Amino acid sequence: MKAPAGLRRLLPASVSASLLRLAAVFMALYGVALTLSPAVRQRSWLPLGALRWGHWLGILVWLLAMLWLDRRMRQALPNRDPFLIPVAGLLSGWGLLTIWRLTGTFGLRQTAWLALSAALCVLALRQRQRILPTLRRYKYLWLLAGLLITALTFLFGINPSGIGPDLWLGCCGMYFQPSELLKLLLIIYLAAYLADRQPLMSGLVPLLAPTAVMTGAVLLLLMVQRDLGTAWVFIFVYTLLIYSAAGKRRVLLASLLVLLVAMLAGYELVSLVHARIDSWLNPWLDPSNRSYQIVQALMAIAAGGLFGRGPGMGSPGFVPVAHSDFIYTSIVEESGLLGAIALLTLIAFLVLRALRISLQARDAYQRYLAIGLAAYLASQSLLIIGGNIRMLPLTGVTLPFVSYGGSSLLVSFIALLLLSLVSHEGMHRAAPMLNSRPTLLLAGLLLGAFALAALITGWWGVVRGPDLLTRSDNARRGQTDRLVWRGALLDRDLLPLARTSGSAGQYQRAYPYAELSNVLGYSHAQFGQSGLEDGLDPILRGEERQPAWALWWSHILYGQPAPGLDVQLSLDTELTRRAADALAGQRGALVLLDAQSGEVLALASQPGFDAALLSQEWQSVLSDPDAPLMNRAVQGSYPAGGAIGPWLLAAARSQGSVPAANAASTGEYTLAGRSLHCSYTPTDTQDWDALVQAGCPAALAQLGLALGEQELLSLFTNLGLYRNPSVPLSQPARSAPNRLPRPGDVATGQAELLVSPLQMALVAASLSNGGEVPAAQLALAVKDARGAWQPYAEDADPSRVLDSIAAYSQALKLAAADALIWEHRAYGYDREGERYAWYLAGTLSSTAQRPLSLVVLLEDGGTARAAAIGRQLLQAALAE
């Protein structure tokens, strides 16, 4: 039973008006959020003049234009599809507000183009009965005119941005891209041509030949122009239209093959295509240059997460051309995956309505026209969205109705007008369709493509998002640091070592002690992060150790993390500054530990840098061959050499496997073709303690063989030589070998056994701590949101390597003349023969109230200099 004619006229009007009201509510709420966003970002009330107001002009123009257009549509086309205007209006409004949010200048221009587009559609409705027939009758003339206008860009073309091909014609500050209109004219030509060939001739060649010639001419023109994005759209539209007309699936396969061949040819012959495909296949190889756009786009999607940062709360401007080519990522950053799904759903719904209109079209011409317009909307949307999310290579086309671009917006509204005309005329006079399967299959393929785009967006935004956001080239981290209070780094006496100053929106990081820069590192908007600023970043930034409700509240309301938390370090500021001063002029490192708790009291590396002057000195620091940015105490890997000798001897004594010393113990030892000798002349060639203190490699090799492969591997593992200490600092990767096939060579500590000064300080601690290697502690406590101090980590159990008697006995063998400390000096050699000086020392457990251990490593000095530096600091520490 059919509804009365009057009711059928009211239904589209009622649906359209209701949906437009919903769209208007969305625009109003979004506008309010944008207005308040500056105050929300700074978490404080601001003067009215500091809020956003410009976009309300865009909202007003949008509202008037959509109401005017919808009213004229109701009057002129009462049987039109009622969903077209509201959906297109919502898309154009969403895009308009996003453009206003990014740049007021382009927002104003887009507003003017929106008004012009709506006005043109309204004026065109006066000739509604003549539009479709006229377009069909003069199809060749329209296409030829489009080609000629596009060709004019060779003579008069400009590029408003000043970068890239000159694809625009301009006058009086307004620019028009002819290739946008050419897309529409090609669709009209193909629809009219295919309709005129009904019923279709047998075979594909007679059908394809004329259209291939015209389409080929269009593609050739675009290739010469280097407008590759539009060329891709033409290929997709042509393929889908021919498939819909012929119903042959081999058309799709043949077109896919042509696209692959074209991509390969372009990759080899066209530098622009080569660069874009490389960036698509592996953007991580060159993220700061050729792949900069796509990497930044993926980080914008990651920043959006599931719910988005909120309108006006993100930083989409970090992505180049965010208002045009990358407007999808701009929307996703502030609307999240849910916003992306909503946007994709709107576009897919518009495409499906266009295909539905084709099934109910009045005749073959209007049917193919609707299919072509659906193909245009779908292909251009998928190409630009796919490029943004790395589903496809970047193409540089615009997102219909959404992206900035007057030409694109105007053509999109013309397509909307044509679809409305076709839907109106086909409501009661639809021509019978002999085969709807191609159209239905096409709908399924396109719907699947949009679903795939949503899944890939979710992959980057939710699954890979946390990893992407930690990248050092994520400028949003620096932006957040200016808006959100970053926690302070405090020494063991709660003295600030790195703190935040200023007001919201202008927060800056202050580093009062330059000597601590290597261990504290830096947190810089341009240069990223290093040191403890990097290792403790989630806590300092407010992303960890917070109540779950506080994290959610901050993210939903502000699009930012909660205020950061302070962290107490184990460092003694005065001792660390003394250590840095003592190392001045050397290349080396010093580590001082509490041998019982493993707390790092002093950690210094030279040459160093001043984190407070990083902006001024970055280039000189970066190019310095002495690598001042490197924290040698934890990031350096040096041959242990004879520094490991006392522990080899103590382990051999513990198991009763010390061999008899002989002349060979002081002789030459050959390793990897190099001859190694004792560092010093031993005081007694028959005394193992003298041989170890003299750093005789042959003696160390004998101890290694006496211990055997498994015992040596167990000793080195328990000493922690194959694992990184558990401190929040970047360290080189280390792993324990499965076996030591040459225990004698490994025991010499040369070349193969690479350790950091911090590792050796923990090893040294075992002689002052009854044979136990403590777990390193650099961060002690975190000040939670309530102001209470909480332990940074649970105390880790120490690792026993020697019994207390053996450890004390070995320490006594190394005791200095004053019998208050033990000390050991040695050299290590790398594969190139470079020599490194080690000085290890610690307190004797029987005399020290505070057990300490210390290591000094010098790259360009002798053990005497290292010992002088170490003794000076130990005396200062013991005097406290």
Mean pLDDT of the chain: 87
Residue 836's DSSP bridge partners are: 828
In 3-state terms, what secondary structure has residue 837? strand
- Residue 435 CA to residue 426 CA, distance in Å, equals 17
pTM assigned to the model: 0.78
Range in 156-165, 525-534, 539-548, 590-599 with the lowest mean pLDDT: 156-165
Confidence check: pLDDT of 111 > 70: yes
pLDDT at 214: 64
| Cis bond upstream, residue 78 (ω within 30) | no
- The pLDDT value given to residue 880: 76
What are the angstrom distances between the C-alpha of 731 and each of 579, 605, 626?
Answer: 21, 14, 18
List, for residues 604-644, the tens digit of each pLDDT value: 999 999 999 988 999 999 888 999 999 999 999 999 999 99
Provide the pLDDT for residue 357.
Answer: 94
Residues linked to residue 501 through DSSP beta bridges, in sequence order: 508
DSSP code, position 815:
B
Tell the burial category of 175 from Cβ atoms under 10 Å away from its Cβ (0-12, 13-18, 19+). Answer: middle
User: What span, in angstroms and rounded, lies between the C-alpha atoms of 401 and 395?
Assistant: 17
Residue 1 has pLDDT above 50, yes or no: no
- Find the distance separating the first CA and the last CA of the chain, reported in whole Å: 98
Q: Would you state the pLDDT for residue 474?
A: 83
The pLDDT-based confidence of 682 (bands split at 50, 70, 90) is confident
Dig out the tokens for 862 from the structure. 């002798």
Domains of the chain: 5-469 (no CATH), 575-619+630-873 (3.40.710.10)
Rounded Cα gap, residues 563 and 541, in angstroms: 7
**Which residue, chain included where needed, has tokens 């920043």?**
303
Distance CA 190, CA 185 (A): 9
* CA atoms within 13 Å, Cβ hemisphere of 826: 30
pLDDT at 10: 47
Mean pLDDT of 783-811: 89
What is d(CA 588, CA 600) in angstroms, rounded to the nearest whole number?
17
How far is residue 873's CA from residue 138's CA, in Å, rounded to a whole number?
93
User: Among 124-128, 210-214, 258-262, 298-302, which is the least confidently predicted range?
Assistant: 210-214
Q: How far apart are alpha carbons 400 and 380 in whole angstroms?
A: 7
Residue 6 has pLDDT above 60, yes or no: no
Taking residues 727-735, report their average pLDDT. 91
Task: Quick: pLDDT tens for 232-249.
Answer: 888 888 888 888 877 777
Residue 841 forms beta bridges with which residues?
Answer: 823, 854
* pLDDT value of position 555: 80
663 has a pLDDT exceeding 70: no
> Which of 246-260, 274-288, 378-392 shows the highest mean pLDDT?
378-392
What is the pLDDT, as a whole number, of residue 201?
A: 53
For residues 96 and 110, what is the distance between their CA atoms, to the nearest angstrom? 7
pLDDT band at 126 (very low <50, low <70, confident <90, very high): very high
Phi-psi category of residue 602: left, alpha or beta, with phi > 0 → left and psi -120 to 50 → alpha: beta
Percentage of the chain modeled with pLDDT above 90: 50
Residue 480 is encoded by which pair of tokens?
Answer: 């957040």
| pLDDT of amino acid 196 | 82
Q: How far apart are CA 324 and CA 161, in angstroms?
A: 12
Confidence class of residue 159 from pLDDT cuts 50, 70 and 90? low
pLDDT for the residue 5: 47
Position 3 pLDDT exceeds 50: no
Mean pLDDT of 516-521: 94
DSSP string, 306-318: TT-S-TTTS-GGG
For residues 777 and 729, give the distance between their C-alpha atoms in angstroms, rounded to a whole number: 11
pLDDT for position 284 = 86
Distance (Å, whole) CA 755 – CA 870: 19
Mean pLDDT value of segment 30-57: 88
CA distances to 126, 183, 417 from 131, in Å: 10, 17, 10
- Strand-pair partners of 854: 592, 841
pLDDT band at 858; cut points 50, 70, 90: very high
pLDDT at 215 over 70: no
**What is the number of other CB atoms lying within 10 angstroms of the CB of residue 693?**
24
pLDDT above 50 (res 7): no
Tokens matching residue 9: 């006229």
Q: Mean pLDDT lowest for which of 126-135, 189-198, 258-267, 426-435? A: 426-435
- Count of positions (residues) in the chain: 880
d(C-alpha 330, C-alpha 310), whole Å? 11
